[in-house]
Chains A and B, each alone.
Chain A
Amino acid sequence: MSSKLSNETVLSQLTAKFGSVILDSSEPHGLLTIEIQPSALIEVVKWIKTEPSLNIAFLTNIAGVHYPDVLDREFAVVYHLHSLVNNFRVRIKCFLAENNLVIESLTSIYSGANWMERETFDFYGIQFNGHPNLVRILNEDSMDYFPMRKQYHLEDETREDKDDRFFGR
């Protein structure tokens, strides 16, 4: 099924409506990717959901990424959205600094964002404002660090039975 919208039309509609909020846009492998200011997230997502010509009303995925070497843009939250009616996908990225790791929660728009945001919090420590129950979901509650951050190892640091010399580490 081919898409009823094209990347150019959607991008032009978005820039016409939001202008400076959109910091960057690109099309890696054909998927329209826009980077917006984190403060404008709710506005943009709500607008593309309710705008009749776009109808991008399905939240596919929320992911977090850690870039430890980039100052003031260490963490990225990546949203994949989909328009089922028009068969169009879009990716929205928001970059956050490590000392201000807060972003608005999408649970007011999509109920499915609840656990996806809890998982991102569990792995990276990103706070979602307005989330009804932001606690760890997959790891134990007693864990005191955020395991997917790049500075932490895959293996448990406290294990004593495996000798790293024999495991090539």
Chain B
Amino acid sequence: MGKIEDVPTVNGEGFQLTVLDKVIGAARANSLWPLPFATSCCGIEYMATMGSNYDLARFGMERMSFSPRQADLLIVAGTISKKLAPVLKQVYEQMAEPKWVLSVGACASSGGIFDTYSVLQGIDRVIPVDVYVPGCPPRPEQIIDGIMKIQEMAKTESLRRRYSDEYKSLMSNYNIESDEQ
């Protein structure tokens, strides 16, 4: 669980003085709604992470959103083949900003042991990725570590990052239309 930082406050009833970035960062980090894009064996380890032994609900991820329109975090667990790559890109484009991508497993990060004609050698060939979790399959503790790193990124991200030129050029590298002005 994340620790809410101590911010200096003014004593009084019902008012708190803090920095907007920190509040929004804390709110975003502790209420990420994941979209489990689980294709193969890493998907079963993800289901085990969701189960009661390695509970993901305590990170604020009680509700798995299967609709990209309502999700913040795209968790890609499993092998992505070249046939599935356009589908993945479409799902990513349907998500609203701010969005993060967690690539779980060796196959999603780099193609894994399947260096074959039909497997996409890493999802970062079609979408930008924030955190990579290696393993085949990674233990649930590793997946939780990856999620905690995403939470760190969400907490400390600048509110204007998605409008910055650097971000826009990143999106255009992947040929993803960014509709922020």
Q: Which A residues contact B (CB, under 8 angstroms)?
A: 138-140, 147, 152-157, 159, 161-162, 167
List the 9 closest pairs (A to B, CB-CB), nearest first. A156-B117, A140-B83, A155-B115, A154-B116, A147-B117, A139-B118, A140-B82, A161-B121, A159-B121
Nearest-CB distance from B107 to chain A (Å)?
A: 15
Cβ contacts A to B, 14 pairs, < 8 Å? A139-B118, A140-B82, A140-B83, A147-B117, A152-B117, A154-B115, A154-B117, A155-B115, A155-B116, A155-B117, A156-B116, A159-B121, A161-B121, A167-B115
Which chain B residue has the least Cβ–Cβ distance from A159?
B121
Nearest-CB distance from B86 to chain A (Å)?
A: 10
Q: Binding site of A, secondary structure by majority: helix, strand, loop or mixed?
A: loop
Task: Please encode chain B, from 110 to 125, with 1 for each CB lying within 8 Å of some chain A CB and 0 for all others.
Answer: 0000011110010000
Q: Which B residues contact A (CB, under 8 angstroms)?
A: 82-83, 115-118, 121
Give chain A residues whose Cβ lies under 8 Å from the Cβ of B83: 139-140
Instruction: A139-B83, A154-B117 given; name 13 further pairs at CB < 8 Å.
Output: A139-B118, A140-B82, A140-B118, A147-B118, A154-B115, A154-B116, A155-B116, A155-B117, A157-B117, A159-B121, A162-B115, A162-B121, A167-B115
Q: Which of B83, B115, B116, B117 has the most chain A CB atoms inside 10 A of its CB?
A: B117
Which chain B residue has the least Cβ–Cβ distance from A158?
B117
Give chain A residues whose Cβ lies under 8 Å from the Cβ of B115: 154-155, 162, 167
